[in-house]
Structure 1
C-alpha cells in the first residue's frame, strides 16, 4: 500500500478546529502559517480566519486530521492565494503538504477558474522555502514585513500557473 492511498481530504468543519490549533508548535511556527494570530492559536482565532477565508480544507492521514489550508485571497478567473497551510507535527515528512497544495490547486481551478496560485513564505521558514519550488512555484516577489517582535523579515512570494 502506498502512502498516497492513506491521504484523503474534505472541507474543514468546526469539529476539526480543536485538532488544528495544536499543529503550530511555537509562536514562530504560528507566525509562518497565520501571521495575524496570537500565540497560542485558539479555536476562536482559527474559526474567525475560516469565516473570512474560502475553501478551508483538511487532509486526513490514517483517518486523522493531518493538514489544513485555505485561500485568503481569490479572484475568479485569475488567481487564488494559499493561506494558513499547517501540518500536524506527527504527520510531517509524510507528503501531507505536497498533497494538500495539489488539492488546493485543484480547488482553485474548479471553484474559481483560477489560472494561477500564489503562495508566500517567510524567510526563516525553511520547510516552506524548500516545498514551493519543488512543486513548480516560481519566485515572484519579496516584501518586507515585521514579525511579532517587530523585527524585519522577508515575505517571499511564489506563483505557479495552473
Structure 2
C-alpha cells in the first residue's frame, strides 16, 4: 500500500471524524472532544493547531495528525493522531508519525517532538518507542467514564 501525505483540507474533515468508532477511541485521539466527533469539533481543533496532515493510500484518507504545540526552535507536540480502522496494523501510524517528525524538523526547526499516549492505547505505547520516543512523565487523567488513566508523555530529541 503506497502511502503519501499532504495538508488537511476542509473536505477531509468529515472523513476523519468517522475514524473513531467509539468514545474510547475518540478519547485516545482527542480527549477534549465529545463522541461522536463532529466536523465542527475537529475543524475548531485544526484552526487552533499547526501542521494538520492527512495520510492517503491510493487516494483514500487513512490517517491524520497535527501539532497542538509548535515552538520554532523548540518543541512540537503531536496531537489528534488517528488511523482509519480498516488501515490499522499496516504501517500507516508509523508513516504518519515519521511524516510529522519530518515536518517538525523542516517547518519548525524543532529540537524535540513530544507525544502523549494513554495507558490503554497498547498500539501507541508499542509504536512510539520503536520510533525513538522515550517516556519522560506520567500524568493522572480521567477517562470519560470517570476512571483513572495514565497519560504517558514521551519525547524524541532531534539531531
Q: Scaled by the length of structure 1, what TM-score is found?
A: 0.95
Matched residues, number: 158
1:127 aligns with 2:123: yes
Match of 1:110 in 2: 106
Structure 2 unmatched ranges of 5 or more: none
Q: CA deviation at 1:71?
A: 0.1
Q: CA deviation at 1:132?
A: 0.3
1:158 aligns with 2:154: yes
Q: CA deviation at 1:149?
A: 1.6
Task: Give the distance between the partners of 2:88 and 2:50, measured in 1 at CA.
Answer: 24
Moved over 3 A (4+): none
The CA RMSD measured in Å over matched residues stands at 0.7
Match of 2:54 in 1: 58
Match of 1:31 in 2: 27
Q: Scaled by the length of structure 2, what TM-score is found?
A: 0.97
Query: 1:50-79, CA deviations, whole angstroms, 9 ceiling, x for partnerless residues?
Result: 001001000001110000000001111111
